[in-house]
């Protein structure tokens, strides 16, 4: 039964990868600051995921629960569902609220979901959001939206 569920999961994700690849294939950016263009990275990731999922669908490894891994019970599946919902909210608020605010807004509940305390979660997520913004925007020259904090720029 577990092997069948793994195969169904792998085939479903493989179909999602194929759909995403079909959507990414015709993408052309009006300007390119990379030699290979902006569509190469998602297509490469989707291809690697596809190969791994194809392997998993034909030769899955059985799930063996150890003390480190929680079983796939209702509580674990609920946490996974809430994580996905939080990531969807993050994607929806990324541009309007900005990277820093949306990261804090989503990161703190995510940390709390997995047992973090309020104050350390808020402090660490805030520092990580600021640090990642600085890393991407200043060091790697990948512009991230500031959203509500746009008034702080220049």
Span 15-56, pLDDT tens digits: 999 998 888 887 776 665 655 566 677 788 888 999 988 888
The CA distances from residue 95 to 23, 143, 147, 154, in Å, are 21, 12, 6, 19
Phi and psi, residue 123, nearest 5°: -65, -50
Kindly report, residue by residue over 91-108, the tens digit of the pLDDT.
Answer: 998 888 988 999 999 999
pTM of model > 0.75: no
pLDDT at res. 65: 60
How far is the C-alpha of 123 from the C-alpha of 108, rounded, in Å?
A: 9
The confidence band for 70, taking pLDDT boundaries of 50, 70 and 90, is low
């Amino acid at each position: 039964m577990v092997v069948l569920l793994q195969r169904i999961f792998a085939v479903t994700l493989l179909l999602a990868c194929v759909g995403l690849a079909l959507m990414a294939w015709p993408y052309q950016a009006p300007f390119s600051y990379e030699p290979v263009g902006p569509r190469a990275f998602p297509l490469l990731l989707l291809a690697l995921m596809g190969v791994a999922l194809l392997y998993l669908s034909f030769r899955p490894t059985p799930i063996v629960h150890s003390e480190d891994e929680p079983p796939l019970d209702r509580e674990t599946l609920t946490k996974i569902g809430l994580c996905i919902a939080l990531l969807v909210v993050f994607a929806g608020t990324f541009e309007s609220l900005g990277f820093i605010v949306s990261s804090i807004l989503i990161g703190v509940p995510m940390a709390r979901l997995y047992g973090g305390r309020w104050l350390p979660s808020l402090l660490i997520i805030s520092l990580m959001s600021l640090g990642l913004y600085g890393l991407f925007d200043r060091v790697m020259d990948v512009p991230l939206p500031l959203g509500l904090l746009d008034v702080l720029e220049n």
